[in-house]
Chains A and B, each alone.
Chain A
Amino acid sequence: MPGDQPHPEIYEPLSHTGDLGMLVYGRDLPELFAHAAWAMFDLMSDATTIRPQQTLMVSVEATDLEDLLVRWLSELLYVYDTQRLMCCEARFTALESTYLTAAVLGEPFDPTRHPIDTEIKAVTYHQIAVEPVAGRWQARVIFDL
């Protein structure tokens, strides 16, 4: 479960009374966005159990970089809810401040191999931040559980 196997180079869970958040890190924006996706599925399950067996193309448009991160994660949540696809990797063909296109890799949820931790209802804009910190990128995201 989150925190059981910490991956501090990728993300750290943030505690909130009713909800849950994460601080995500990446050397550049594509890595930050890929880590954010990985981290979200790690909060929901255990991302190390997800194999990159299927590919899905995803495009997202937004008003700024923070909005883009919220919409990117919301898109993956939607894909998970409707197609059961859990994501462990993302390869970006475009990533600007207002749009992105990515190949998302993962596999369908399999209750025999993927533990269930947390149901994330939504990705919120509360305290959303995407910023360069000490030579790398950092993002803060709070989820509604």
Chain B
Amino acid sequence: MTDASAVKIQQIDAYRWRIPRQGQMRVDGLVFASPTLMRAIREDQSLQQVANVAQLPGIVDHSIAMPDIHWGYGFPIGGVAAFDEHEGVISPGGIGYDINCGVRLLGSGLSRADVAGHMRELVDSLFRNIPSGVGSHRKDLRLSETELKQVLKRGAGWAVAQGYGSARDLQHIEEGGCLQSAQPDMVSARALERGRSQLGSLGSGNHFVEVDYVAEVYDEQVANALGLFLDQIAITIHTGSRGLGYQVCDDYLKVMQHATARYGISIPDRQLCCAPLSSPEAHEYIGAMYSAANFAFANRQLITHWVRETFEQVLERPPRDLQIDVIYDVCHNIGKFETHVVDGQSRRLCVHRKGATRALPPGHPQIPEIYRHLGQPVLIPGDMGRYSYVLIGTQQGGAETFASSCHGAGRMLSRTQAKKSARGRPIVRELEDRGIFVRSAGRATLMEEIPEAYKDVREVVDVVAGAGISKKVAQLRPMGVIKG
């Protein structure tokens, strides 16, 4: 790989940088960052990766990077790339191992005062009711292969049909919680087997369920429309497609290694392996990847149900009092066909978002009707000690980034460095002193996930807001967290 300093970069304005076309690049790179974030970005190879992605056939407009960009396998994490449906390619490395890793935000009719004195019990109960960590699963959820294939076909709709949630929930999920062109038969027996016992589980690492309160509101009108108000209790769920998705990615990376050679595609890095969108390999991968995405939608739906049950049990209040409703649910590792206007022309493109969130502009038909005039909600989790953000899509983002925004804070310390810094410290106590109750399955997770291991998500959000590709709506602060 080339030294990162070898990548030419020009500052366009306070928030934008261009990587001008050089070498084999077919389009320019466009990076959103502040000068401070850019200094950190330049420390790894991610800018070279933005330039590498720009070399892929059929890429349209720009190879884009969000301010939380960091090094990934082949494609950077925090990257957005759109490909022409006829001349372009699809690459599993541009979507990631955790297909449809994403975030769901639940609102509630509760204020901070309603949960005061109950937080410890709430967190303990959430931890008990939601399988977390390596190898965890609900004993009451054991699926046959036929049922699992139904999950892959129907996504969150499958869970609702089984009694886990309501039809209203589905209307507040990206794509209604189901990618219609999923083809479960394209998912290997191995992936099915890996996923089978893991439906309805959180996983480990940076996946979590968090009880938050609304700490700041920046746009009253939008917050009201989304059902958010100051001091309100909200719940954030961050997880994806578990072992099923990882195996789909792994399986198709192998298929794409062959396809890249077969179609004579020249790539600068083995991890960028891909296939023409018109090829059978692409068709099969899309069928499998959409299936994994549906698994993830169903996963977040099941967890939502157990969150509701937990609140009912602990607070001893009926659902109509709690009003735990889905505000929105977004994917941040996904590839999808979407129509965007490029140079005045409407084109159907395959948009890859790896560590990036869709952010549709106001008026877009795919936004739930009640929010449509405002734009699509964008959910940006931060670390477990500070805050997360709710943003909303803008016309500017719609036009400039294929309607995409950032996805999170991004790590600043490696896991090993974080553990070194956390060693010997009472992390649980430290957070409790700040009013945050945490529970975790893994011994190392809390140490790896200490707040200072992450960049300040505010810096990231300030860039997308400053550049106008999303708008700030509200800030959430954690009160209780369960981690895998």
Contact = CB atoms under 8 A, between A and B. Distances in A.
Interface of A: 1-3, 13, 15-18, 20, 44, 74, 78, 81-82, 84, 109, 111, 115-119, 121-122, 124-126, 144-145
A121 B72 CA distance: 14
A50 B190 CA distance: 25
Contacts of A74: 250
Contacts of A144: 73, 97, 246
A71 to B, nearest CB: 9
A84 to B, nearest CB: 6
Contacts of A84: 135
Contacts of A118: 134, 204-205, 415, 442, 444
B320 interface: no
Nearest to B273: A125
B443 interface: yes
B203 interface: yes
A117 B73 contact: no
Interface of B: 44, 70-73, 77, 97-98, 133-135, 190, 193-194, 196-198, 203-205, 243, 246-247, 249-250, 253, 270-271, 411, 413-417, 419, 441-444, 447, 484
Taking each of B193, B204, B441, which has the highest tally of chain A beta carbons within 10 Å of its own beta carbon? B204
A17 B70 contact: yes
Contacts of A18: 70-72, 77, 411, 414
Given A17-B413, A81-B194, 15 more contacts: A1-B419, A1-B444, A3-B416, A15-B414, A17-B414, A18-B77, A18-B411, A78-B247, A81-B198, A81-B243, A111-B135, A119-B134, A122-B97, A122-B249, A144-B97
Contacts of A15: 414-417
20 contacts: A2-B416, A3-B416, A17-B413, A18-B414, A20-B416, A44-B134, A78-B194, A81-B198, A81-B243, A82-B194, A82-B196, A82-B197, A84-B135, A116-B204, A116-B442, A118-B134, A118-B204, A119-B484, A125-B270, A145-B415
A38 B147 CA distance: 35
A1 B197 CA distance: 26
Nearest to A1: B444
Contacts of A126: 73, 271
A115 to B, nearest CB: 5
Contacts of B413: 17
B419 A121 contact: no
Contacts of A20: 415-416
A122 B414 CA distance: 18
A85 to B, nearest CB: 11
Residue of A17, A82, A84, A126 contacting most chain B CB atoms (<10 Å): A17
B60 to A, nearest CB: 27
A3 B419 contact: yes
Contacts, number: 91
B190 A116 contact: no
Nearest to A45: B134
Given A17-B70, A117-B444, A119-B204, A78 B190 contact: yes
A54 B135 CA distance: 19
B205 to A, nearest CB: 6
Contacts of A82: 193-194, 196-197
A16 to B, nearest CB: 6
B190 A117 contact: no
A124 B444 contact: no
Contacts of A3: 416, 419
A119 B444 contact: no
A19 to B, nearest CB: 8
Contacts of B70: 17-18
A91 to B, nearest CB: 24
B270 A13 contact: no
